[in-house]
Amino acid sequence: MGKKDFYVDLDNAGVRSVLNNPETRKLLKTAADNAAAAARASAPVVTGTYRDSIKSHVGTSKDGTRAIGRVSASAPHAAKVEAKHGVLHRAIGKAKI
């Protein structure tokens, strides 16, 4: 059998509406919340400042085309902790819905 070519014409407005709709945002919120909970559960604790600074957020991409979910830590030493332990990096794999 020979190779067959095909053409796909995406409805960009339709795709954009799916990426921004309330149901997508709800799924992203659930995934981000789960990842944040996993990060807090595995965070090293000395004072608890780092662990307690881990939060989830749902927003819109800079170009406004899609909803995005984020997990971040705002403690002053968060970058050091992430570099040494990879807490947030590992937690993303637990972002189950």
Query: 18-68, pLDDT tens digit by residue?
Result: 888 999 999 999 999 999 999 999 999 999 999 999 999 999 999 988 999
Return the sign of the alpha-carbon dihedral for residues 57, 58, 63, 64. negative
pTM score of the predicted model = 0.81
Residues sharing a CB contact under 8 Å with residue 56, sequence separation 6 or more, in sequence order: 29, 32, 33, 35, 36, 69, 70, 71
* pLDDT score recorded for residue 94: 79
What is the per-residue pLDDT for 43?
96
Answer yes or no: are the C-beta atoms of 58 and 29 closer than 8 Å: yes
Q: Inform me whether the pLDDT recorded for 85 exceeds 90.
A: yes
| pLDDT at 88 exceeding the cut of 70 | yes
Distance CA 37, CA 52 (A): 10
pLDDT band at 1 (very low <50, low <70, confident <90, very high): low
Cα separation, 67 vs 53, in Å, equals 23
What pLDDT, on a 0 to 100 scale, did the predictor assign at position 19? 86
- Please list the alpha-helical segments (H only) found in the chain: 12-20, 22-42, 49-52, 78-85, 87-92
pLDDT above 90 for 93: no
